[in-house]
Structure 1
Amino acid sequence: MSHYFSAEPEASTQRRDIAFTIAGREFSLVTTGGVFSADRLDPGTAVLLRKADLPGADAAGPFLDLGCGYGPIASVLATVAPRATVYAVDVNARARELAAENAARTGAAGRIRVAAPDEVPDEVRFAQIWSNPPIRVGKTELHAMLDRWLPRLAPGGIAWLVVARHLGGDSLQKWITERGWPVARQASQKGYRVLKVG
């Protein structure tokens, strides 16, 4: 069965536009089937972008959008922080194609670097990591993903995560704490937890 976290999803490639507003700015991005939340801006992503502290206009990054899907988080970060480089990382090839197209749509093609996980240079350290992580891949894979990327925060760096409470938001917060990371609940809204790590 094909999932949005499959490397090569088989779902329909019918294109659609999704419009949303974040921080007073309007975005219109293209999606297709086979990517996460292809019909709308995911409610968890919306909560994350409205409740976490978006970077300022002078922030240089680099930032990481982990599990970028078609690129809504990367597009917002690159727009509000026009000096920053944003790595948009996803295992899903179709998602990466859409994220690159949406980077061009938002005028940020030169600053959003779309990549598969293994294509990010090892030496890159991130000022911020943003993620609506793919909880449905299972706890083992989710933990492995966070164990891989959280250590790539630069000194003083921050990770922003959003997790549905009913999908284990509170237990994930406990697990991150047990791994030695300072973590605080920034916000709770519509059944989602916004976690600030670092």
Structure 2
Amino acid sequence: MGDHYFAERPGTASRRRTVDLVLPDLHLRLDTDSGVFSPDRVDPGTRVLLETVPAPPQDGDLLDLGCGYGPIALTLARRSPQAMVWGVDVNQRALELAESNAHAAGLDNVRFCLADDLDPGLRFAAIWSNPPIRIGKAALHDLLRAWLPRLTPTGLAHLVVQKHLGSDSLQRWLDAQGHPTERIASRSAYRVLRVAPRPETSTEARTDDSTEGHTR
């Protein structure tokens, strides 16, 4: 387990290197290391996500779920300088790299931490993620059950998943969980899913019923 990117402390010996994230609106040079996700290049799925999603909200709290060394979170921070961006991961080596990459890029509106260290009261105007599919279906479902309810009522999540790793079945599962989900992009066997919060059940009618006939 120590060799997997979803280990807390990877057992793989450190071997630092640098990758470039070049998008139409930005260029980031990112330090990476062995034992983190996609250390030799920005993952193609991440690139598909960043090239196809609509612009993020310009303010509020934004989340990169499973941030790795930071390409998604840093893109959010650059595109939404008035927002506060949070990157969470289980991999301590990745979090240290992400912090260093944010500093090198001059971005002070982004923070990285373990999930348990994030304020549980925070609600997110957007969640962007290249989720850790290889942790297994059950663990992935638990992860999404924990974080998607933390969207604001108008917030949206955008997830990128390879077709052969279950993007279509994940879309069906999300719909079945009450999260309206649609595919907004498809490229090179990757699917980008837009996930909305569960529609909230209004309590107004019940409140009105309970007070009907009483003096106001």
TM-score range with shorter-chain normalisation?
A: over 0.9
8 Å contact from structure 1 (residues 12, 32) kept in 2: no
TM-score (normalizing by structure 1): 0.96
| Corresponding residue of 2:23 | 22
Considering Cα pairs closer than 8 Å and 6+ residues apart, tell me whether 1 or 2 has the greater RCO: 1
Specify the structure having the higher radius of gyration (Cα).
2
- 2:159 is the alignment partner of 1:161: yes
Q: Runs of 4 or more off by more than 4 Å in structure 1?
A: none
The residue aligned with 1:114 is 112
Per the alignment, residue 34 of structure 1 pairs with 35
Per-residue deviation, 1:14: 1.5
Q: Retained in 2: the 8 A contact 1:61–1:127?
A: yes
Identical-pair percentage: 51
- What is the distance in 1 between the residues matched to 2:150 and 2:24? 27
RMSD value, Cα: 0.9
- Aligned residues, how many? 195
2: CA distance, partners of 1:61 / 1:34: 32
One-letter code aligned to 1:9: P
How far residue 36 of structure 1 moved from its aligned partner, in angstroms, is 0.2
> Shift in Å at residue 61 of structure 1?
2.5
The within-5 A match list for 1:107-186 is: 107-108=106-107, 110-186=108-184
* Distance in 2 of aligned mates of 1:55 and 1:121: 21
Q: 2:77, 2:85 within 8 Å by CA — same for their partners in 1?
A: yes
1:72-129 C-alpha deviation (Å, 9 max, x unpaired): 0011110111111111000000010001001111111x31111101111011000000
Query: Equivalents in 1 of 2:105, 2:69: separation in Å?
Result: 13
Aligned to 1:73: 72
Structure 1: segments with no counterpart, 5+ residues: none
Mapping of residues 23-62 of structure 1, within 5 Å: 23-55=24-56, 59-62=58-61
- Give the drift of 1:24: 2.5
Deviations, residues 159-185 of structure 1 (Å, cap 9, x unaligned): 000000000000000000000001110
Which amino acid letter does the alignment assign opposite residue 84 of structure 1? A
Q: TM-score, normalised by structure 2?
A: 0.88
Aligned to 1:12: 13
The residue type paired with residue 170 of structure 1 is D
Q: Which blocks of at least 5 consecutive residues in structure 2 are unaligned?
A: 197-216
The 3-state SS of whatever aligns with 2:184 is strand
